[in-house]
């Protein structure tokens, strides 16, 4: 089929997209309407942690589709309960609420923190509601999560904002401490800022934050929508610093490509009362059945150790590029990495990489001066080598 035969003009405009319609994929490869294949180091935006069309996920999805798709969220279902059990068994949390997107999970985290702040008021008896978040953070696209985000310009585009999200600077504990007041109830951060350009919170900063929040009786919320589910080489990125947060949100990887996300908390913080929280599709068995397959594969012996090794391998290859081309360096955790280009050639590289032939390459420029890599967690070394070789071909064309 020709591109012009797809009625894409019926789609609401939200962003510029290339004239490419993707039709199928397998593992690290995705194919478009012309049959051209692309090595995919975007993977649905750090979502397809097991690559395209993973066998275990297909089996879980098709088996569940033939059994029960939607009993209504007013009742328990088997995959919902089993996945919650898997998550609490493998984390420091005791309670799980499932949602359909990361933004919705974060929205739930904000509500839960505010509810907890009503039950744990300040000295004057007032409900605490302020959540300190960070410059350049990204928490989603609902009104509250946009207000929580520190993306430049986002304070204006759908004004007025939801109040109660003062911004501190990542890896600067004094900037957090300065914002703590009588209304503060929590601090919320991404262990590695993803959309902000793959900027890790340091181990030291995470420890300082945990100590500071304990001292002021504040909740610590980690937004692990991008860093969770094996992306950093640990099942959850908070494990990298050895701290235990009070609330965590998951999205992206937990569904491996299907719309699934989750809000987790410790038992002490799970203070919702009947009617406070809900959602038509929460815990729907079709998606949670897939989540079970994903978590079982991620926690299989050796899987996460391999992610760490692959992350180290990717890091070495990116550092070698820095030597050859004089780039500034690289950063990240596990298989969430960025190459710091030192100049704003990211978007140009992204376009040229996609247009390579016969095979294209999909990478992302989270900021114009860097490239972000978020391959499948079961990518192979050979595929990393192929990606680097393709990138070199592109770099030969870029000034
Ligand atoms: C992608 C992302 C979100 C939003 O998730 P959606 O599923 O797009 O709503 C929130 N937080 C972080 C850290 C993300 O990377």
Per-residue model confidence as pLDDT tens digits over 112-149: 999 999 999 999 999 999 999 999 999 999 999 999 99
- 133 Cβ below 6 A of ligand 1: no
Paired tokens of 364:
């992302």
Q: From atom 11 of ligand 1, which residue's Cα is the shortest distance away?
A: 139
> Is residue 45 a part of any domain in this protein?
no
- The answer for 326, left when phi > 0, alpha when psi is -120 to 50, beta otherwise, is left
226 pocket-lining for ligand 1 (C-beta < 6 Å): yes
Do the beta carbons of residue 223 and residue 260 sit within 8 Å?
A: no
Q: Assign 249 to helix, strand or coil.
A: strand
Same-domain pairing of 270 and 344: no
* E strand or H helix that includes residue 208: helix 203-215
- Domain assignment present for residue 82? The answer is yes
CA atoms within 13 A on the CB side of 216: 24
- Using CA atoms, how far residue 321 sits from 326, 328, 387, in Å, is 8, 10, 12
> Which tokens sit at 395?
């770099």
Domain boundary among 298, 328, 359: 298
Residues of the chain where predicted confidence (pLDDT) is lower than 70? 399
pTM reported for the whole predicted model = 0.98
pLDDT on residue 1: 84
Same domain, 269 and 350: no
Residue 66 assigned as binding residue: no
Q: Are residues 101 and 139 in the same domain?
A: yes
If one residue of 101, 102, 222, 332 were mutated to test the ligand 1 pocket, choosing by the most ligand atoms within 8 A of its CB, it would be 102
Same domain for 223 and 74, yes or no, is yes
State whether 69 and 157 are in the same domain: yes
For residue 115, is it within any domain?
yes
d(CA 329, CA 324): 11
Residue 44 Cβ < 6 Å to ligand 1: no
Domain end, chosen from 235, 268, 298, is at 298
Give the orientation angle of helix 285-298 with respect to helix 303-325, to 10 degrees.
Answer: 80
- Domain count within the chain: 2
Task: Tell me, yes or no, whether 231 and 335 share the same domain.
Answer: no
| CA separation for the pair 197, 230 (Å, rounded) | 19
Q: Is residue 136 part of a domain?
A: yes
**Whether residue 210 sits in one domain with residue 82:** yes
Judge whether 280 is annotated as a binding position. Answer: yes
| Residue 251 alpha carbon to ligand 1 centre in Å | 7
382 appears as a binding residue in the annotation: no
User: 311 in ligand 1 pocket by Cβ < 6 Å?
Assistant: no
Q: What is the pLDDT of residue 353?
A: 98
Helix 346-354 to helix 381-397 angle, to the nearest 10 degrees?
Answer: 110
CA of 105 to the centre of ligand 1 (A): 9
Tokens of 103: 């933004």
Question: Ligand 1, residues 252, 262, 291: which to mutate, most atoms within 8 A of Cβ?
Answer: 252
Residue that has been written with the tokens 């071909």 in this structure: 393
- The token pair at 164 is 């109660």
Choose the final residue of a domain: 238, 266, 298.
Answer: 298
Are residues 214 and 224 in contact, defined by beta-carbon separation less than 8 angstroms?
A: no
Q: Is the CB of 251 under 6 A from ligand 1?
A: yes
DSSP structural state of residue 196: T
Could you identify the atom of ligand 1 that is nearest to the CA of residue 252?
7
What CATH code is carried by the domain that includes residue 165?
3.40.640.10
Kindly state whether residues 280 and 352 are assigned to the same domain: no
In this structure, is residue 32 part of a structural domain? no
Nearest-CA residue for atom 6 of ligand 1: 102
Predicted confidence at residue 362, as pLDDT, reads 98
In a domain, 306, yes or no: no
Atom number, ligand 1, closest to the C-alpha of residue 103 = 9
For the chain, what is the radius of gyration of the CA atoms? 21
Residue 27 lies in a domain: no
322 shares a domain with 292: no
Q: For the chain, give percent helix, strand, coil, nearest 5.
A: 35, 20, 45
**H or E segment at 353?**
helix 346-354
* Angstrom distance (rounded) from CA 143 to CA 146: 5
Quote the Cα angle for 44-228-60, to 5°. Answer: 65
101 and 204 inside one domain: yes
Residues 225 and 344 occupy one common structural domain:
no
Alpha-helical segments (H) within the chain? 43-46, 55-65, 78-89, 102-119, 143-148, 173-177, 203-215, 285-298, 303-325, 346-354, 381-397
Give the Cα separation of 104 and 16 in Å (integer).
Answer: 25
Question: How many other CB atoms sit within 10 Å of the CB of residue 221?
Answer: 30
Query: Is residue 281 located within the same domain as residue 354?
Result: no
Give per-residue pLDDT as tens, 29-72: 999 999 999 999 999 999 999 999 999 999 999 999 999 999 99
Q: Mind spelling out the 3-state secondary structure of 34-81?
A: CCCEEEECCHHHHCCCCCECCHHHHHHHHHHHCCCCCCCCCCCCHHHH
Three-state DSSP class for residue 319 = helix
Mutate to test the pocket of ligand 1, among 141, 223, 238, 251 (most ligand atoms within 8 A of CB): 251
CA of 139 to the centre of ligand 1 (A): 6
Q: Is residue 118 part of a domain?
A: yes
Structural domain of 61: 55-298
């Amino acid at each position: 089929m020709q591109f012009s035969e797809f009625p894409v003009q019926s789609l609401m405009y939200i962003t510029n997209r290339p004239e490419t319609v993707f039709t199928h994929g397998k593992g690290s490869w995705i194919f478009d309407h012309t049959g051209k294949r692309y090595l995919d180091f975007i993977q649905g935006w750090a979502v397809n942690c097991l690559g395209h069309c993973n066998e275990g996920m297909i089996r879980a999805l098709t088996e569940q589709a033939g059994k029960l798709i939607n009993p209504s969220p007013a009742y328990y279902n088997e995959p919902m309960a089993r996945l919650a059990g898997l998550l609490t068994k493998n984390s420091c949390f005791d309670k799980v609420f499932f949602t359909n997107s990361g933004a919705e999970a974060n929205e739930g985290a904000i509500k839960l923190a505010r509810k907890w702040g009503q039950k744990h008021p300040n000295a004057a008896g007032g409900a605490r509601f302020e959540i300190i978040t960070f410059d350049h953070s990204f928490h989603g696209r609902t009104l509250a999560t946009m207000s929580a985000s520190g993306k430049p310009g986002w304070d204006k585009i759908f004004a007025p904002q939801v109040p109660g999200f003062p911004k501190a600077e990542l890896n600067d504990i004094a900037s957090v401490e300065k914002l703590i007041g009588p209304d503060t109830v929590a601090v919320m951060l991404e262990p590695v800022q993803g959309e902000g350009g793959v900027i890790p919170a340091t181990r030291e900063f995470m420890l300082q934050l945990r100590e500071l929040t304990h001292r002021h009786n504040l909740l610590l919320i980690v937004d692990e929508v991008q860093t969770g589910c094996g992306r950093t080489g640990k099942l959850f990125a908070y494990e990298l610093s050895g701290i235990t947060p009070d609330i965590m949100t998951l999205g992206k990887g937990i569904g491996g490509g299907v719309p699934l996300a989750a809000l987790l908390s410790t038992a002490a913080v799970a203070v919702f009362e009947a009617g406070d929280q809900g959602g038509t599709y929460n815990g729907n068995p079709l998606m949670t059945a897939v989540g079970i397959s994903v978590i079982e594969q991620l926690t299989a012996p050796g899987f996460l150790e391999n992610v760490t090794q692959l992350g180290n391998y990717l890091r070495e290859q990116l550092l070698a590029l820095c030597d050859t081309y004089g780039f500034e360096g690289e950063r990240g955790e596990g298989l969430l990495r960025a190459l710091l280009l030192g100049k704003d050639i990211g978007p140009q590289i992204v376009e040229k990489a996609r247009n390579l032939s016969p095979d294209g390459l999909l990478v992302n420029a989270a900021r114009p001066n860097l490239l972000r890599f978020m391959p499948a967690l079961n990518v192979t070394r050979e595929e990393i080598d192929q990606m680097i070789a393709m990138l070199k071909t592109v770099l030969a064309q870029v000034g």
